[in-house]
Structure 1
Amino acid sequence: MISLITKAGGALLGWLTGGTLDRILDTVDHKVDNETERDRIKADIIKTHTQAQASLLVSRTWWFQLFFVIPLGIWFAAVVADSLFHFTWNVASLPPPLDAWAGWIVSSLFLVDGGKALIGRFRK
């Protein structure tokens, strides 16, 4: 029964994460011979991964992206499309306090993501 739950949970999470969890579980399969111990380790990995995904959904990062990053991305895409293809949209500029905030938000995103990428490269 645990094996069935582990396989179903692994398949679902593998579909959601694009295979990262599958590679981890395959590594556990190759390194651990005892089936009961293997199933326990897999269950622990799936539990930890699920908890990490759940904490990401309730964290401030998700809400920040929903309310700030996505609207700014849509606005920026509209400005670029209007500038390149000369549509008749006439995309309005942001009002004075929001234009500075938008610049800070976009800058911080690139700095944070770039910093993560650099740290990830140096850790390897």
Structure 2
Amino acid sequence: MLGRLISFLTGGFLGRILDTVDHAIEAETDREKIKGDIIREHYRNRADWMRAGGFWLCLLFALPLAFWFGAVVVYSVFWCAGCAFPQPWTIAALPPPLDDWAGAIIVSIFGVIGVTRFSKGA
């Protein structure tokens, strides 16, 4: 009887507030679940793309980068100004956008391959 009286006096206001809070919590939980599903599907699609031949496309970008990095390492060991066989020439640094992209290329290739091989081993 007291509950009906309070409900009558407040016009069900408290009930509506509590229902709104419950719906907000459920919506937030559903939103986080959807975000997790999207991230999981993205990684699954990325691994499938690598298995379907994307690896060769990645090598198209990685091989010139590996050649440049190898040239820098060999020059730094053997032909730099204070090394065993000093030379007057140097190897040029990558231009500004490519020096940032080089790290992203390596992480995108080896990161996906590492995750794929790790998941197969588990």
Q: Output the TM-score relative to the length of structure 2.
A: 0.46
| Structure with greater Cα Rg | 2
Greater RCO between the two (CA within 8 Å, min separation 6)? 2
